[in-house]
Chains A and B, each alone.
Chain A
Amino acid sequence: MTDEALLHQYLVVGAMLFSIGLIGFFTRRNMILMFLSTEMMLQGVSLSLVGWSRFYDDFGGQMLVIFILVVAACEAAIGLALIVVLFRHTGSLDIALLQRLREANLPPWQEANPLPVPEEPSPVWPHLAPAGIRPPESPEATDFRETV
């Protein structure tokens, strides 16, 4: 595999990861999964930088990826702290509950036709099989019972 073909492949795979992360960020309503999608976009950029670094035989791209890692770690710490605070406020991870952040002249967002959420099936508990040996009843117990 020549160097330029490898660079081309890495750039395309990085662009794919970036686009998939963008789709996830736009379409997801769970705050944690939106956060996860941004991390996926960062991964795509990192992959492109590694490809360029390989192509130029230079460590500059890898240096940038190291600092991307650092920023991603900081972002994870603060972002998850903010998500926990928002969860304490609304009791849910739904981003659509934060409607007060919209523009002042926009109507509140309402779900057009929500899909029906299927019920979780009730768990099937195991039946306890009878185990052990029933002791033989003594003739006294059969003759003189306390209760009938």
Chain B
Amino acid sequence: MNPHQILFLTVILLGTAGVVLMLRPGWGTLRVLGVGLSAIAFGGVLAQASPVQLLPEGVVFYLLAAATVGSALAAVSLVHPLYCAVCFGLSLVGVSALMAYAGAQFLAAGTLIVYVGAILVVLLFVLMLAHPRGRASYDWNRWEAFVSAATGIVLLSMLSLLITRTLAGANHLAAHSQPAAPGQTTLQPVAPLAKAQPASSPWPKVPPPKAAQGVMAPQHVARIGQHLFGSHWLALQAAGVLLLAALVGAAVVLARFPGPLLRHQQAANLVASSTTQTPPPQVQHNP
């Protein structure tokens, strides 16, 4: 076994055990142990993918990634749904910061506005509207914790292994892969990435502006509107129509299916309004 396989086997074992222990409700010693094991496993996956210098800007990235992944794990494993939603919001803020770190400022702002500003608020609203007081048994008792955790961690290991193989290209594989036995098939090494030209579009291409300084630079974030309304205008129209259809659809779904609880309530209101009201009891005055 080469070091990569040993690493990923360790990640799978530790991560599965850690996530299973984290999915237990309550703050026992076992759950704290689960948090530690998951931190080791996820940190191992993150560390094997980083042949980069740590200082100075790598620290910022690692802090952001740790905050994002940690609050995502908390959002999945905490018991109380409101805490889960708040941790999900924290994870969204981390994702938005990571997008800004990669130079997608518009998407960072859009993620904050759309997810944290709209979707998360609606989620919290429905949660507070529908959630019973106190602890619910369906938050306390989970589905199959072991199978879920094993599925997720194995998927994560396979994805990161695939990403590493794809990005490392043929040289890395030649150095690390073992010679295959006769009759045994191995994965063929993947060609290294090359900076490709963007595919040609059938729509008329907008020529880049002459001055490549500041806002007019071809990679400035201001170019995003040019792309959005230039080569993607049809998709933009479709997105607008989709939003309108979703709006109408949500209203129609809520209006046409009142549900038995609400129907009982309406019937009770009808009965209460049709019966004659009894006179209020007379108050006795003490002399």
Contact = CB atoms under 8 A, between A and B. Distances in A.
A54 B103 contact: yes
Given A8-B163, A12-B46, A117-B135, 15 more contacts: A8-B167, A9-B52, A11-B163, A26-B143, A28-B143, A32-B85, A32-B130, A36-B88, A46-B95, A50-B107, A77-B247, A85-B253, A88-B261, A114-B140, A117-B136
Contacts of A94: 136-138
Interface in A35-57: 35-37, 39-40, 43, 46-47, 50-51, 53-57
Residue in B72, B129, B137 with the greatest tally of chain A CB atoms within 10 Å: B72
B118 interface: yes
B191 interface: no
Interface stretch (B1-9, B174-182, B223-231, B274-282): B223-231
Contacts of B122: 76-77, 80
A118 interface: yes
B119 to A, nearest CB: 4
A146 to B, nearest CB: 15
A76 B76 contact: no
A73 B118 contact: yes
Interface of A: 1-2, 4-13, 15-24, 26-30, 32-33, 35-37, 39-40, 43, 46-47, 50-51, 53-60, 62-63, 65-67, 69-78, 80-85, 87-89, 91-96, 111, 114-115, 117-118, 120
A63 B230 CA distance: 12
Contacts of B61: 1, 6, 9
Contacts of B239: 67, 70-71
A73 B243 contact: yes
Nearest to A26: B148
A36 B242 contact: no
A29 B250 contact: no
B25 interface: yes
Given A65-B104, A78-B249, A120-B135, A16 B156 contact: yes
B134 interface: yes
B213 interface: no
B155 A40 contact: no
B81 interface: yes
Residue in A6, A27, A54 with the greatest tally of chain B CB atoms within 10 Å: A27
B209 interface: no
B210 interface: no
B234 to A, nearest CB: 12
Residue in B25, B91, B219 with the greatest tally of chain A CB atoms within 10 Å: B91
B246 A74 contact: yes
Contacts, number: 278
B91 A89 contact: no
B19 interface: yes
Contacts of A7: 167
The list of the 5 closest CB pairs from A to B, nearest first, reads A88-B259, A74-B246, A23-B152, A26-B148, A24-B76
A15 B8 CA distance: 15
A9 B85 contact: no
Given A17-B68, A62-B107, A39 B235 contact: no
A60 B265 CA distance: 52
A69 B110 contact: yes
A43 B120 CA distance: 13
A36 B75 contact: yes
21 contacts: A1-B53, A9-B61, A10-B98, A11-B167, A13-B46, A15-B159, A16-B72, A24-B75, A26-B147, A26-B148, A27-B23, A30-B138, A32-B85, A53-B102, A58-B198, A71-B239, A84-B130, A88-B260, A92-B136, A115-B25, A117-B135
